[in-house]
Structure 1
Amino acid sequence: MDDIVKQALAKWPNVPDCYGWLGLDARGRWYLRDDATQAAGPFAQSKGQLLEHDKLIAFIARNYEADAQGQWFFQNGPQRVYVELEATPWIWRIQPDLSLQAHTCQAAEVREALVDEQGRLYLATDIGVGLVHTMDVPLAAEAVESGRWPLQEVLASDLPTRFGYMASPQAGWVARSCEGGAR
């Protein structure tokens, strides 16, 4: 986490969390979701505006992490901006030597290779589970075919429970709010 973010947290410790305003798609791209976008539907059907500013994207990547409930967020100064996930918390880019790099540029080591009912490839790693970027499926196929990454079948709907993440913190927040338990 950036030092400036830590300082803001210390200075303003009680800033309310933000839900629904940021999304991560299945290709590792960030989207800003205003009120109208959110009203049009969940992230998978109503993404919003693609973020293209390199320094903003790098700032988000450096300050991206999960809370104890498996909700992924971007720590924006004193405010947590929870992220709507189209697929998984990580999107993997596979390098020519078959090493992994997350959409945040963080390196990871493969522990398991998983394929879902639609043929999508996921890699469980030392830092978490992620979907392989569509452009890198040919490289991943080399690793699978060579036996380097033996495949296990999985249902996509089982991934959040198995790997402890929440695809839609906003949906969880709405449910908790209706029960009187939002923070």
Structure 2
Amino acid sequence: MDDIVKQALAKWPNVPHCYGWLGLDARGNWYMRDDRTQAAGPFPIAKGSLLKHEKLIDFIQRNYEHDERGQWFFQNGPQRVYVELEAAPWVWRIGEDFSVRSHAGDLVEPSACLVDEQGRLYLAAPCGLGLVHTQDMGFAAEAIEQGRWVAENVRAADLPGRYGHVMSPAAATPVQAAH
């Protein structure tokens, strides 16, 4: 977490949390979801505006964490902005050497390989579950063929419970403190 964020937390410890305003899609893209977008439907049906500002995206990714309930959020100064997930908390990029990096650029070591009923490939790592980016499926298939990863068949609906993440903190929170 950035030092400036830690300082803001100490200065303003009781700022209400924010729900529904930020989404992470299955390709690792961040979306800002204003009131109109939220009224149009849940994420990813109504995605919102694609964030393109590199420094903002980097700031979000450096301050991206989860709480004790498995809800992922971006710590924006003293405020937690909870993230709506399309597929998983992480999106993995696979290198030619079969290295695995998160959508934030962090190198991870997969501990499990999972294929859901739609053929989507997930990898579990110490930091959480992630979906393999569609552009990297060729490398992932080669890793499986070489026996580097052994794919286990799963149901996508079972993954949040198994790996402890919440797909929609907005839907899971009965009273939203800030909107």
When the two structures are superposed, what TM-score results if normalisation uses the length of structure 1?
Answer: 0.95
The answer to whether 1:53 aligns with 2:53 is yes
Q: Secondary structure at the match of 2:111?
A: strand
Cα distance between partner residues in 2 of 1:41 and 1:65: 25
Structure 1 counterpart of 2:175: 177
When the two structures are superposed, what TM-score results if normalisation uses the length of structure 2?
Answer: 0.97
Unaligned runs of 5+ in 1: none
Query: Any idea what the Cα deviations from partners look like across 1:21-80, whole Å, max 9, x if unmatched?
Result: 000000000000000000000012000000000000000000000000000000000000
Identity %: 66
Cα distance between partner residues in 1 of 2:114 and 2:3: 37
Q: Which has the higher contact order (CA 8 A, sep 6+)?
A: 2
Consecutive aligned runs of 4 or more in structure 1 exceeding 3 Å deviation: none
Deviation at 1:94, TM superposition (A): 0.5
Cα distance between partner residues in 2 of 1:52 and 1:75: 19
Unaligned runs of 5+ in 2: none
Cα distance between partner residues in 2 of 1:95 and 1:51: 25
Cα distance between partner residues in 2 of 1:84 and 1:57: 16
CA RMSD of aligned residues (A): 1.2
Structure 2 counterpart of 1:11: 11
The count of corresponding residues between Structure 1 and Structure 2 is 178
Structure 2 counterpart of 1:82: 82
Structure 1 counterpart of 2:113: 113
Deviation at 1:138, TM superposition (A): 0.3
Q: Secondary structure at the match of 1:140?
A: helix
- What amino acid sits opposite 1:177 in the alignment? V
Deviation at 1:107, TM superposition (A): 1.2
